[in-house]
Amino acid sequence: MVDVKVISPRKLKLVPVEEKLAGDVPKLEYNLDRVLFNPGVYQLQDKRSKVFNFDPYLATIMPVEQFDFNALKEYVTSSKDTRLRDLSAKYGKKYCGSTSSLTSMLAHFHFLLSAWRAPSFEHLSRSFNVEFESFTALTRGPAAAFARYKDGVYAIDADKEYDTANILSMLGKSMEKLLTIPKKEFEKYRRTKSHELSEEEKNADEAFHYSTLGDFMLRSQLDAYDPRLPGTGMFDLKTRAVVSIRMDVEGYEKGLGYEIRNRFGEWESFEREYYDMIRAAFLKYSLQVRMGRMDGIFVAFHNTQRIFGFQYISLEEMDRALHGTSDRSVGDQEFKASLKLLNEVLDRASKRFPKRSLRLHIETRPTNPPLTYFFAEPVDEETINRTQETGRTKVEAFEREILGLSRKEKEEESRQLKEELSARVQEDQLDKEALQESTSAEDPQRQKAWDEMMAKRELLGMYITVRNKMDDQVVERVELREDWNEKRRWMVEYSITELPQERAERILAQIRSRRKKTLQSDPEERSRLWYRAWSGGLAKSTAAGQLYRETMKREERKDKGVKVAWTERTIPHRIFRS
């Protein structure tokens, strides 16, 4: 018999805790706060008149090899955050996590609860060609995490097995500083000047919002603040690279030169980037904003060398694309219902494997009706660290190369990597030989031992199905109507069914395979796809952008300075570059 339970989303409460912030939340510099209160894009420089709307210093991005990333405070994962664990214990919460570790899993509950609602592109112009009306493969792909147990609390960390370092993650850190501190202070982060930074500046406390819902303690880092915005006044900073960079981030060099020159159009436009954000980023961004009790996101569009413009996108605007309405009620209630469902499956997993760390996999399949698979298997710390190191090694190698390594260090690193790979190959070969030997038809005893070992594998597999009801009427998904109000009742009926062991192992293997295929691809194949995509459109647009920039540079050299919006006087080049 199927056990059906009911969630009433509007009765669930996201409760703020520890509201006194440990650190100060910065505000935008360079008068960028003007962007917050005007919908649409603010161009850094007007294409027609060549007038800068903001300080021309912002136009050129400091190269990553010149920025001292060691002067920034290191990111702390949920499991290493002692304050987060202490707060969880203080408030009696069983699970804790951050925006970065939880959003990929929560996205799958959006697919489930909304029955794969397609994004809305009504914010785009009618002439824009909407090539795909779905979320990207990366957004739809399986998600994985670790729930690391210690002293009664499970801290959820993102699974970094397939993490790859890229220039965008590094630029995100440096550009966040650029946008929120004065020019002279930012220049101190240049590697040649970072000795001028005080220890207090390097180790300043960062500000977080902490919230609870059910058994969860949620942590959200606060990027920026403006008291004039609704609610808490907090908002997220996002640095968004252009399509030519994103299509092959690891081989980003070939996309350098692509520029945003127009408001509308399929290429070289802010509209193109907005379309891609709807498909690839809005779901993640909106979940982060909700978790952090923020108002929206401030986006800086760039090509890793230059910034082209800025846009503030409120949560209501993102909801319009994701939930079909700018009324936050649907998104708010879906978010709370998602956390409740995640809470429920984690409870089942922790009950099956008490006081043990777990590896989690989740995926919502596009069935009719949709269903969400959730898997939990116990793992020890050694296994977790080995898995996490797989991705971390690549990240650290990339960062060290960008920041400048001596040839000797590179050779030593390469030698160690070869030794590690050689050891892994030998281990894999031994595993294969052991498998062949144990499954040999000539040795039934070994076959029996192998079968018994596999039968003892600890794994809990489940699938979740839901049925939405609005005022006791079954609906495929919640659609906001004109008569929506607090009295209208959205109820989520759900059932969780445990999978037989053999089927669970088979489905988990398929999910892992899909995840690997989504996150891991061959660099040469990515490069070939980049050149072939849109009949070579990226290469053509990049070449056109490079030619345009060279022309602009020649014109600038002829001029005595630059024109800016806040004065009629021409500003000499040396002033804004200093």
Each of the 578 residues of the chain gets a pLDDT tens digit; together they read 678 999 999 999 999 998 888 789 999 999 999 999 999 999 999 999 999 999 999 999 999 999 999 999 988 999 999 999 999 999 999 999 999 999 999 999 999 999 999 999 999 999 999 999 999 999 999 999 999 999 999 999 999 999 877 899 999 999 999 999 999 999 999 999 999 999 988 888 899 999 999 999 999 999 999 999 999 999 999 999 999 999 999 899 999 999 999 999 999 999 999 999 999 999 999 999 999 999 999 999 999 999 999 999 999 999 999 999 999 999 999 999 999 999 999 999 999 999 999 999 999 999 999 999 999 999 999 999 999 888 777 777 777 776 664 334 544 554 555 455 555 545 555 444 444 544 444 456 655 554 555 556 899 999 999 999 999 999 999 987 655 566 678 999 999 999 999 999 999 999 999 999 999 888 899 999 999 989 999 999 999 999 999 999 998 888 888 999 999 988 887 666 55
CA–CA–CA angle 377, 379, 381 (5° rounding): 160
What is the Cα–Cα distance from 334 to 114, expressed in whole angstroms? 8
430 CB burial (10 A radius; 0-12, 13-18, 19+): exposed
Q: Please tell me what DSSP assigns to residue 262.
A: B
Q: Please tell me what DSSP assigns to residue 73.
A: P
What is the Cα–Cα distance from 399 to 407, expressed in whole angstroms? 15
Among 338, 323, 291, smallest CA distance to 109 is for 338
What is the Cα–Cα distance from 120 to 134, expressed in whole angstroms? 9
**Prediction pTM value:** 0.90
CB 561 within 8 A of CB 570: yes
Establish how many alpha carbons lie within 13 A of residue 452's alpha carbon, considering only the half-sphere containing its beta carbon.
6
CB count in 10 Å sphere of residue 417: 13
Bridge-partner residues for 294, per DSSP? none
What is the Cα–Cα distance from 159 to 398, expressed in whole angstroms? 19
Evaluate the CA torsion angle 117, 122, 123, 129 in order and state its sign.
Answer: positive
- Residue 465, φ and ψ in degrees, nearest 5: -125, 150
What is the Cα–Cα distance from 72 to 68, expressed in whole angstroms? 8
CB 450 within 8 A of CB 438: yes
What is the Cα–Cα distance from 17 to 221, expressed in whole angstroms? 14
Bridge-partner residues for 147, per DSSP? 156, 358
CB count in 10 Å sphere of residue 554: 9
Dig out the tokens for 299 from the structure. Answer: 């986006």
